Structure formats: C-alpha cells, structure tokens
Structure 1
Amino acid sequence: MGKQAMEIFDDMLKAGVKPDYISYVAVLSSCSHSGLVQEGKSYFDMMKRIHNISPGLEHYSCMVDLLGRAGLLSEAKNLIDEMPMEPTAEVWGALLSACKIHGNNELAEFAAKHLFELDSPDSGSYMLMAKIYADAGKSDDSAQVRKLMRDKGIKKNPGYSWMEVDNKVHVFKADDVSHPQVLAIRKKLDELMEKIALLGYVRTESPRSEIHHSEKLAVAFGIMSLPTWMPVHIMKNLRICSDCHTVIKLISSVTGREFVIRDAVRFHHFKGGSCSCGDYW
C-alpha cells in the first residue's frame, strides 16, 4: 500500500513528528514498490537536506530498486558509484533484476560480476544471469554461470508454496506428485486454465513445468477445499513469476474468488481480475 504509506508519512511531517532512519526506509520502500519515482527522489533529498540523516545501505538499495524498475538504469548505476560505502549483494541484485526487466544485458553483466565477487550464497542472482544469457542466445555463457554455481557449491532454491486447510499445512512444489489429491488438483487446474483461455490467456513459451508451478497448484487446491466466501491465503518462498501472477489474476476474475499470496518480496491481493501490487513488484 505504497500511496497509503506516503500519506501517513506526510501526515507525520504535518504533525511535527521528525522521521528517523527507519521511517525513511519504510517510505522509500513504499515508493519503490509503487513506482513513484519523483516522490522517492524527493524523500531521499529531504532525508539528507532537511532531516540531516545520512543514507544507509537500506536507503540506497531502495533507490537503486526504484530507479531500476522505472528503467532509469544509468541513474541507478550512478547512484551506486556515489555510495560512500561498498554496495552489498542487495544493491547489485536490485540493479541486475532491473537490467533483466529492461533488457540491458551489458549492464547486467557488470552487476553480476560484482555480485559474484561478493560470494553471495543466494542462487537467485546466478539463475537470473543464466536466464539473461539464455534469452540472448548465449548458451555457452549461460552454461558457464551454472558451472560457476556448481563450483561454488551453490544450489538452486526449489520453489514451493504452502497453505493451511482444516488445521493442516499443505505444501506444494512444481510438478510435485506427492500430495494425496494431486490428480484432482491437476484436473481442477486444467479446468481453470481452460476458462482463462477464453479470456485470451496464452501461455508464453517456457518449460512445461511452469504450468504446474507451486502457487498454481495451491490456488487450485484452495478453490477445491475452502468455502467460496473465504479468501485463499498462500505463502511462497520465492518471488512469484509473471506467468503465475497473470494466471491468478484471471482465475480471480472467472471464479469470483480472492487470493492473498505472500511471496519473498511482498503481499499480493488478487480480486476481480486485478492485483493490489498494480503489476509492479
């Protein structure tokens, strides 16, 4: 709720309450997740110029993420160059993710180089760079990144989702067949996919496992298992992918159901064919 967070922050200023280090982390993060570039720049300047707070790593990370998401990659890179401290994996990771979104492979390589030098154990950055290379037709470079992961003993984090039904936690993994109701769940998911196809949904070219990503399986199970008036609450350990995000928006439209999914980045509230994130996450 980026705009609401900004309103509260502004009300705080009007009331004469001085924001502190953490207050600015909150409002800059809100701007980042809502795509409010000019507002974020204004708060970043206000923090230094009016409230005499020196930006920390969290503030710089928010600003790099904000500028990068908006496609202002040169500004994001310049801000990193101006940082008075060494950029962390979070900062370089924000730039790398933005490069993937906006197709700047050259800057992506630059960000990835710095990320890999930090020896971060997070597999996400390696997988992201491998995909960037693969999408660019550089299969050898993609394979080299995966080899680097193996050499460093870094393993890809498997994606999984979980939800609670009748005081029992149900866990789902992509293409997993261990759930006792897996056949019924997949049948339900296939029915839902047929319905959203009538709305114009076309699956992008990708591995077939994307059809049975964990959050899609959880959504189908939630529809089967919970009363129609009850929102379906799901947790996921990784960032929800764009295809699943689109599919769940459409499912919320054709079924009239509400879904609340907490992924590794934020909450998503799907209702009536739209998401609370505004497709910006």
Structure 2
Amino acid sequence: MSITIGLMMHCMFSRPWLMLHGALLKVRLDSNVFVGNGLIAMYGKCGCLLEARRALDEVPSRDVVSWNSMVAGYAQNMQFDDALEVCREMEALKQKPDAEMQNSGLSPDSIAFVAILSACSHSGLLDEGKIYFKQMTEKYNLTPRIEHFACYVDLLGRAGQVDEAYNFIKQMPVEPNERVWGALLSSCRVYSNMDIGLLAADNLLQLAPEQSGYYVLLSNIYAKAGRWKEVTAVRSLMKRRRIRKTPGISNVELNNQVHTFLAGDTLHPQSKEIYEELGVLVGKMKELGYVPETDSALHDVEEEDKECHLAVHSEKLAIVFALLNTQNSPIRITKNLRVCGDCHIAAKLISKIAGREIVVRDTNRFHHFKDGICSCGDYW
C-alpha cells in the first residue's frame, strides 16, 4: 500500500497520474481510504479539483486526512469559498444521526486550520480568519502551533494591518521563527512599511543568514522607496556572505518531456519563434491597456530597461512555448519562485487573448487564469 501511495506522490506533476488512477480503478483499490486520500492529495496538488472532489466522494469511510486533503487542495488552488464550505460540510455531517455519516463527519484538526487560515489570508477574509483563529481554542480546544501563528501574521499583514501583525508577534507565547518574520517582511514590502520591515529583516538575517529570498525582500523594500544606496549595501552584503539570488525557473511539460526556461533564455531550440510570438502578444496586451508593472523589476535603471527585463521572465517564455505547441488543452506551468505582479497581469491578458486556460503553480499555490481573470482575485 505504501508503494502505491508513494507512486502517486511521484506522479503528481506529470501525465502518468492518469494512468495510475486507471490502474487503481481496475484493481478496485480507489475505494480504500488510504489510497483514496492519496488520490485526493495528488489531484489537489495537480490543480485538478473536480477530480479531487470526486475522489473524496468515492471514499466510503472518510477520515480526517480525507477532509484535510480536500481543504488543503482548495486552499492551494485559491478556491477559498470551497475550502471553507468543506469545513462546514464536515461539521454538518457530524451532526447527522446516521452512524456511517458520523464516521465521515469530523471536526477540523490542527492541520485543517493551517489550510483554513491560509485560505482566509490569501482571499482577504480578515474578519473570517480572526473568527476561525479564535474558534481553534474556544470551540475546538486546539492549541495554536507556530504554523497557525505564522498564518495569522500573514492574514493581518496581507490585509494591511502591519502594526497589528507586529504587535501580535511580540505577544506570541512561543518564539517566532523565520516563517513568522518572513510573513511580516512580505507585508512590509507590499505596504512600504520601512520601520517594521527593517526589524523583521534584522530577525530574519539572524535566523536564516543564508536564505537569499529575505535579502531580496529587504532590497525590494529599499528600492520601492528609491533608497538605492541601501539597495547597493544589501547586495554588497550578499556578495560578502556569498549569498546568491535564486534564479526564477519555469517548467512546462510537452509529450512527456519537461522544458525549462530561465529569464531571458535563448538556449531553447524554439527561442526565435517564442520571442517573435511574445512580441506579438505584448502588442495585443497593450491594446487591451497593459502597462508593465515596473515595481516587479526593482533596479536602479531606466523604465524602458525595466520593461525589457520584465518582458522575458521565465513564466512568460514558458506560456508562449506552450501556446505554440499545444491546442485547446489547459497550459500548466510550475515555477520555483512567487509569480511576480507583472507576469500575473500578463498571464491574465494572455488567457483572454488566446482563449486558453493557464494554470501556474508557484512556490505557494496555484493560479488559474481564464478569460482574463485569476482564481486568486489578484490577492496572493
């Protein structure tokens, strides 16, 4: 059984998961709760939520892992209303007198609340998130762990409550870790809070001195404020400590082969066609009102140079490659970093221009672009 579940996890980002599910159906293993849970998690992490929900419904005796996997799948794919609805469904089933239904209806546990709070955070549901955080202890008698505190700081920070988030950290009953300070630093970048941002960065550089992402966030805070001397100082510190910025990499699969793109990549055999088509698309995007979000390229250079840098980000190249080589089917991209604001805008417009669904999975969650709209509601 463990071998089967291990295969599921291995197949999550490639076509063999379809074949694996077919094989499980043939031997009637899909109704086993452990295999069923693996299918729910697999489909959720592939962005296939209809299949994940179907797998949940087909598990005859669902346990808390079944529900958690579904909640996490919806939350990761920005389907926040659905994630919260599953939680309500769990509670409703628990109240039914039928014995079998009681077994399938369970109270959310600590793991479920990480997904719930994350869902509230990434959908801007500040009040709902506060209610769920309070319910953890008062209704479900759960003791918040560091993951829950990090989610709560992220919830406050994303909603612009940076001062409240910082005060919350100071009152936490446990020592804040790098994830907590990282959430605070990210919100400081978005809302240009220099004072608290520097405090968060100071803690992060002590906790994780080799993590390049935090240096980049601090550099971006300075850059948004136009403080280029400080930007240079951060970059010099990175050089002295031999910290290298992680390059953005985007992958797309075609005919069982993974194609990898870096920003400004010219090594791919179809580079010429990709850049020509990208140029055509950018022209059409500008006709629809596209203006490059140059804050996503925070360098002390001219605006025109920033636009050129943004235009060749890896996810744009991967999307255009997929457009050139596929028809009708959804385009699926994975990226090792957070999607930048400009690429997010571009993906929305390209989905409308090309009439194609584009699914991008970055380091945290999925973005489903369709008809010029993203599932995250531009809040990620």
Normalising by structure 1, what TM-score? 0.96
What residue identity is the alignment partner of 1:230?
S
1:15: how far off? 2.9
What residue identity is the alignment partner of 1:225?
N
Which position in structure 1 is the counterpart of 2:312? 212
Normalising by structure 2, what TM-score? 0.72
Specify whether residues 7 and 204 from structure 1 end up closer, same or farther in structure 2 by C-alpha distance, changes over 3 A only.
closer
Which position in structure 2 is the counterpart of 1:280? 379
1:152: how far off? 2.4
- Per-residue CA deviation, residues 161-203 of structure 1 (Å, 9 max, x unaligned), is 0111112111100011110110110001001111111101122
- Per-residue CA deviation, residues 192-251 of structure 1 (Å, 9 max, x unaligned), is 111111101122344222110000001111110001x21111111000000000011011
Higher helix share: 2
Matched, 1:57 2:57: no
* Residue pairs, 1:130-279, within 5 angstroms: 130-205=219-294, 206=297, 207=306, 208-227=308-327, 229-279=328-378
Of stretches 110-119 and 232-241 in structure 1, the one that deviates more from structure 2 is 110-119
The answer on whether the counterparts of 1:89 and 1:120 sit within 8 Å (CA) in structure 2 is: no
* Residue pairs, 1:11-90, within 5 angstroms: 11-16=89-94, 17-90=106-179
1:120: how far off? 4.1
1:127: how far off? 0.7
Whole-Å separation in 1 of the counterparts to 2:193 and 2:146: 24
Question: Which consecutive unaligned segments of at least 5 residues does structure 1 have?
Answer: none
- Per-residue CA deviation, residues 99-138 of structure 1 (Å, 9 max, x unaligned), is 1111111111111111111134321110111121122122
What residue identity is the alignment partner of 1:3?
D
What residue identity is the alignment partner of 2:80?
G
The answer on whether the counterparts of 1:159 and 1:173 sit within 8 Å (CA) in structure 2 is: yes
Deviant stretches of 4+, over 6 Å? none
Q: Percent identity?
A: 47
Q: How many residues end up aligned between the 2 structures?
A: 280
1:151: how far off? 2.5
The answer on whether the counterparts of 2:192 and 2:225 sit within 8 Å (CA) in structure 1 is: no
Cα RMSD over matched residues?
1.2
Q: Which is higher, the Rg of structure 1 or of structure 2?
A: 2
